[in-house]
Structure 1
Amino acid sequence: MDGNGRWAKRRGLPRTMGHRKGVEAVRETVQAAGEAGVRYLTLFAFSSENWNRPEEEITDLMGLLKLFIRRDLAELHKENIRIRVIGGRARLDREILGLLVEAEELTRNNSAMHLVIAFNYGGRDEIVRAAKRLAEAVGRGELSPANVNEHTLSAFLDTAGIPDPDVIIRTSGEQRLSNFLLWQAAYTEFVFVPVLWPDFDKSAFHRALDEYASRERRFGAVPERDVALGS
């Protein structure tokens, strides 16, 4: 969800106003995803690199997360949406941690849609933490090195039990992953849209889904039509 700061700058507003408008886009996108039948929606809310931003901006982002959970949690629960938070828990204050745990526990049995919040998240950090936990399991004798494979490592990731993303949408015209779901995105389709995140709405979401639907996913195999032509 990129472009909050640029959205605000173009309007002569402080960056914090862009983040506040971005929260409205989050609500609209969650609703649009539910209406479209999306089963898993992951939002990259705060990266492990975002701690390098000005302290005032970080404080505002944390405040927005608290506000979102307190104001929207009941509605998300009512809509049978399950919330799951991925990312490191280090550096998060006790209040934030409590709210994240509350959101996950309250919605644990919901099943209409899985809303995954990537908060204090970085793809490389996730893989490192998973590798450490895997190594500890080997050290305890719970796992043999000979049995370590892609599926084994995946089980130690923050996203264990969550399917790899079919499509990643990045707003604001940027065309890079920025340390997001590096392991999980091996065969993901990418849709880059020029719209700044605060302006991302249902119509933009559906256009992105239409772009994804036009793709042919091969996962490293030969397209069926090519197999038929060569037979």
Structure 2
Amino acid sequence: MSFDQPAEGEDPALTNRLHVAVIMDGNGRWAQERGWPRLVGHRKGAERVRQLVRACPEVGIRYLTLYAFSTENWKRSTEEVLGLMSLFARYIKREADRMAREGVRMRIIGDRSKLDPKLGAIFDWIEAETASNDRVHLTVAINYGGRDEIRRATCAIAEKVRDGRLDPAQITDATISAHLDTHALPNPDLVVRTSGELRTSNFLAWQAAYAEYAFTETLWPDFTPEKMTEILHEFGLRERRFGGAK
């Protein structure tokens, strides 16, 4: 049985390996609707992350992947970008002890080359500190884009071919998956997008090929564990065939 795909008829939730990915959208809108700066919405959104991570074991999620900052988000104001980067660092430092106690393993995916080296060092530190944890796998996508990830994977594969370490005829889907940022994770079973937007925004373009999608009008700062439970219940009623006939 492939780690990335459940066996026919198998429920990932029952095998304790349900992978839910979330496009966390609506922080800025939530704040603006209340007349507050956008960063207030991002801080409130970080509180929701904490609540959802703690609820994961209860709702049956072992792998939670969150889209926090895309390769396109650099277009936002300097104030907002710097505020978000500071928020990422504060969240990790504040939650490190809790993650250790509660068995949360944290990973950061995305291109770190454009990030401040100090922030990169914090990412390296939290990944090392939580490497032995296995209760919940929290992955946060920062400076991440699905196309960029595939481009980077393609470059790495091309280098191996150039150096004679890889035969082009032997390149398979598994080869590509092994060179992605998510190589240590199963593919997502469910991708949730908040705030009413109906697009995938370049998130897990390769990995989510057979994922189910759920879209909700709820803005991320209002997205509670109870709302996730509601979505998971609806997801549990779907029949997944992975391209096979009914």
Q: 3-state DSSP class of the match of 1:109? A: coil
Match of 1:74 among 92, 97, 100: 97
Preserved contact between residue 32 and residue 205 of structure 1 (Cα < 8 Å): no
Residue 193 of structure 2 corresponds to which residue in structure 1? 170
Match of 2:129 among 106, 109, 112: 106
TM-score by length of 2: 0.89
Whole-Å Cα distance in 1 between the matches of residues 48 and 132 of structure 2? 26
Residue 159 of structure 1 corresponds to which residue in structure 2? 182
Letter in 1 for 2:197: E
**Pairwise mapping of residues 15-34 of structure 1 onto structure 2 (< 5 A)?**
15-34=38-57
The CA RMSD measured in Å over matched residues stands at 0.8
Whole-Å Cα distance in 2 between the matches of residues 32 and 176 of structure 1? 26
Whole-Å Cα distance in 1 between the matches of residues 54 and 102 of structure 2? 10
Q: Which runs of 4+ in 1 moved over 2 A?
A: none
Residue 214 of structure 2 corresponds to which residue in structure 1? 191
**How far apart are residue 211 of structure 1 and its match?**
1.5
**How far apart are residue 149 of structure 1 and its match?**
1.1
- Deviation by residue 1:98-147 (Cα, 9 ceiling, x = unmatched): 10000100111111111111111000000000000000011111110110
Letter in 2 for 1:193: T
Whole-Å Cα distance in 1 between the matches of residues 114 and 57 of structure 2? 32
Whole-Å Cα distance in 2 between the matches of residues 97 and 20 of structure 1? 21
TM-score by length of 1: 0.95
Letter in 1 for 2:56: A
- Deviation by residue 1:140-173 (Cα, 9 ceiling, x = unmatched): 1111011011111111111112111000010001
Match of 1:149 among 147, 154, 172: 172
Preserved contact between residue 173 and residue 194 of structure 1 (Cα < 8 Å): yes
Letter in 1 for 2:142: F
Among all aligned residue pairs of Structure 1 and Structure 2, give the percentage whose two residues are the same amino acid: 51
Q: How many residues align?
A: 223
Consecutive unaligned residues of structure 1, counting only runs of 5 or more, are 224-231
Is 1:37 paired with 2:48? Answer: no
Q: 3-state DSSP class of the match of 1:90? A: helix
Whole-Å Cα distance in 1 between the matches of residues 225 and 137 of structure 2? 18
Consecutive unaligned residues of structure 2, counting only runs of 5 or more, are 1-23
Structure possessing the higher radius of gyration over alpha carbons: 1
